Structure 1
Amino acid sequence: MNILFTKNFSVTAAQLQALRGTRYTVWASHTDPGHGMLAAADHTFLEPRGLLGDDYAAWLLNACVQHGISLVIPGKERERLASWAGRFEAAGVTLIVPATEATQRHLERKDEFLRDWETDILPIPRWTTFDSLQTFDEAVAALREPGVRLCVKPARGIYASGFRVLLDTPDLKSFLAGELYQMSQAAARELFAQGTAQGDLPTMLLMHTLEGAERSVDCVAWQGELLRAVVRRKSGQGNEGGQQIEDRPDLLEAARQISARYGLSGIFNFQTKDGPDHEGRNRRPNMLEINARASGGLRYSLAAGVNFPLLLLDAATGVLDRAAMPPVQTGLRVAEDKVARVVQGAEATA
């Protein structure tokens, strides 16, 4: 069976590698001929640059028919592609998207997601939004509490882009130590003043910074049913000490409820951070965000004995034996090693 992974982040290569030796023939497409996804696939073809929305969906459908693709796991334009599932199905191609277009966009808009979130599943830190220097100052005044640091991040974004913990004053030690995710409130005000004046400041979140452990939960679900979830606790700077695979029934239950609540199909991830519990200790997980896509750290969770893409494909094709799914290996400390590969055989010229 020919399975296609379309243009996505470089970490997708780990999913393709996990499918080697299975009954699936893995195809990958990308606009960059040197991308790691293509190096990890059995068969490849290039995507045209610049296609978006319905134009991209129409091109992809034609490409799938041309190459005999039976099932597609899209990266690029997966939100819009959700509305094309029927047209792909009519052409004999199964399209796996995490949820409806509306649900995917809802999860991407972190302000909308937090407003709608059911805190009985997991609590959330205090937060608000701002979109100008004036509303930033108002937000800071509303959320400021003794002993609590504030942080900012865009309401729409991926990974840690735009995330910063705000300091009352510039801190030389933090700067020299390479603390990339901290900035002074004065520097933040200067940036937001510029954005206000130029009219390009996006909707931003201002939140209480939780000081406990940070976790990432990688999940695979099918039609709202959680198949497996791996809870990994992050370490300090750059995860130099690796990440710990934990046994957390409470977060597995949260994963089950998230899968059902949003009707998710595919590999997804949610992030938590510990805040004060009833005893004032930082050990109560709070929800930060849900990403309806595979995380950048999925390789850590793959090392816990869960073949995420294989479970997903077997569920989608109706051959998954739920009783035979391997258990999650917990209690592990997992590290990631970077490797080099040759992209071109000949030396590049200027």
Structure 2
Amino acid sequence: MNRPTVYFNKNFSVTSAQIRAMREVGQFETLASHSDPSNVMLHAADHQLTEPRGLLGDAYAEWLLATCRQHRPAVFIVGKEAAAVAPRRADFERLGVRVVVAASRAVLRELDHKDAFLRGWDSSILPIPAWTTFHDLATFDAAVEQLQAHPDWVPGQTRLCLKPARGIYASGFRVLTEGRDLKSFLQGELYQMSHAEARVMFAQAEQAGERLPTMLLMHTLEGAERSVDCVAWEGTLAAAVVRRKPAGQGGQLIEDRPDLLEAARALAQRYRMSGVFNFQTKDDRQRRPHMLEINARASGGLRYSMAAGINFAQLAAELSLGLLRPDQAPRPTTGLVVAEEKSAWVVREAAPSLLTGAAQP
């Protein structure tokens, strides 16, 4: 008897770990597609497809629909261009394909624009840091003045941080300092910038005619940072793993945090989340967690949470097919310090031109 197939389209590298974990269970066949034939997620799957390069939006959604029409997977766990696939869900499901996409197109766009997300956030779930936006030097200066006048500002203690309103991982994130110091330089600190350096950079951009994207300026919270990896179906949380980086250790701590599990349930319901998603929090000086952002996708650190016993993609597939109810999902093991091990994989033999150093076409 043939096993049902779960299809993963182009996505971040952590997808390979999800595929391997699913293959270990053996309940599903796995199919993966990517535009780079050497990408590790392809070689983690039972079957592979090469995607055409450069397809975006509706054209990419059409290619995905044609791929599902040909290969007939039981479940499609959406990666790239989720916002283009979400409104076409019925087209896929007419083929008998269950689509796992984190939220509706409108919600995906809201979460992708962090200023829109923060503006619409329900602070009864979790508080958020003081924040505002800027888009040039003048509005940057005004934003600094506004946040320094905020009631939560403590002179000499509170710092500001900035980042683009749209972006992934830590791209463009900087904590503003009063100046550079030798210690941070020698330690290779990558995420600090002096207030003066920021002003010079924004001024030079204006002089060069470069347009800043919408930027966020926020109070920097100095407490523990957590990442919460979740899996849900149609607004009901099935499982969540809370992880924190312990001070002075290389791993991450899997915590038992009922308060953050309750927050996960509330936001899953609020945004009607399905599949794997993540949110980030940071504590203030009173150790109260604040919401920073929600990522409508698997996080880059999902492997840490998987070590706590949650097979996220497997759960998402089972939930989508009705093989499992959210209340039947396993509970993670907490109280663990987990570490990530990097591995190398042979993906193919090198082309002769690579061996000779010849130019690539």
Q: Does 1:247 align with 2:259?
A: no
Length-normalised TM-score, structure 2:
0.92
Q: Does 1:305 align with 2:309?
A: yes
- Equivalent AA in structure 2 for residue 12 of structure 1: T
Q: Which residue of 2 aligns with 1:168?
A: 178
Q: Which residue of 2 aligns with 1:227?
A: 238
Distance 1:80 1:103 in 2: 12
Distance 1:7 1:235, change over 3 A: same
By how many angstroms is 1:343 displaced? Answer: 3.0
Range with bigger deviation, 128-137 or 304-313: 304-313
Distance 2:308 2:13 in 1: 20
Aligned with residue 101 of structure 1, among 87, 91, 105: 105
By how many angstroms is 1:112 displaced? Answer: 0.6
By how many angstroms is 1:25 displaced? Answer: 0.6
Q: Does 1:157 align with 2:136?
A: no
Q: Which residue of 2 aligns with 1:13?
A: 16
Aligned with residue 319 of structure 1, among 313, 319, 323: 323
- Equivalent AA in structure 1 for residue 34 of structure 2: H
Deviations 1:28-62 (A, max 9, x none): 00000000101110000000001111000111111
Range with bigger deviation, 340-349 or 153-162: 340-349
Q: Which residue of 2 aligns with 1:71?
A: 75
**Equivalent position SS for 1:19:** helix
- Equivalent AA in structure 1 for residue 282 of structure 2: K
Do 1:216 and 1:234's aligned partners in 2 also have CA atoms closer than 8 Å? no
Q: Which residue of 2 aligns with 1:280?
A: none
Aligned with residue 333 of structure 1, among 326, 333, 337: 337
Distance 2:141 2:27 in 1: 57
Deviations 1:212-241 (A, max 9, x none): 00000000000000000000012458xx52
Distance 2:105 2:327 in 1: 32
Distance 1:295 1:186 in 2: 33
- Equivalent AA in structure 1 for residue 312 of structure 2: F
Distance 1:169 1:292 in 2: 36
Pairwise mapping of residues 76-91 of structure 1 onto structure 2 (< 5 A)? Answer: 76-91=80-95
Distance 1:323 1:140 in 2: 46
Do 2:232 and 2:326's aligned partners in 1 also have CA atoms closer than 8 Å? no
- Equivalent AA in structure 2 for residue 194 of structure 1: Q
By how many angstroms is 1:346 displaced? Answer: 3.4
Range with bigger deviation, 193-202 or 289-298: 193-202
Range with bigger deviation, 176-185 or 189-198: 189-198
Instruction: Output the aligned Cα RMSD.
Output: 1.4
Length-normalised TM-score, structure 1:
0.95
Q: Which residue of 2 aligns with 1:213?
A: 224
By how many angstroms is 1:321 displaced? Answer: 5.1
Do 2:282 and 2:292's aligned partners in 1 also have CA atoms closer than 8 Å? yes
By how many angstroms is 1:109 displaced? Answer: 0.6
Q: Which residue of 1 aligns with 2:298?
A: 294
Find runs of 4+ consecutive structure 1 residues off by over 4 angstroms. 321-324
Structure 2 spans left out of the alignment, 5+ residues: none
Paired-residue identity, %: 60
Deviations 1:169-191 (A, max 9, x none): 12221011011101111111122
Range with bigger deviation, 325-334 or 258-267: 325-334
Do 2:72 and 2:95's aligned partners in 1 also have CA atoms closer than 8 Å? no
Distance 1:309 1:91 in 2: 21
Distance 1:297 1:101 in 2: 25
**Equivalent position SS for 2:284:** strand
By how many angstroms is 1:324 displaced? Answer: 4.6
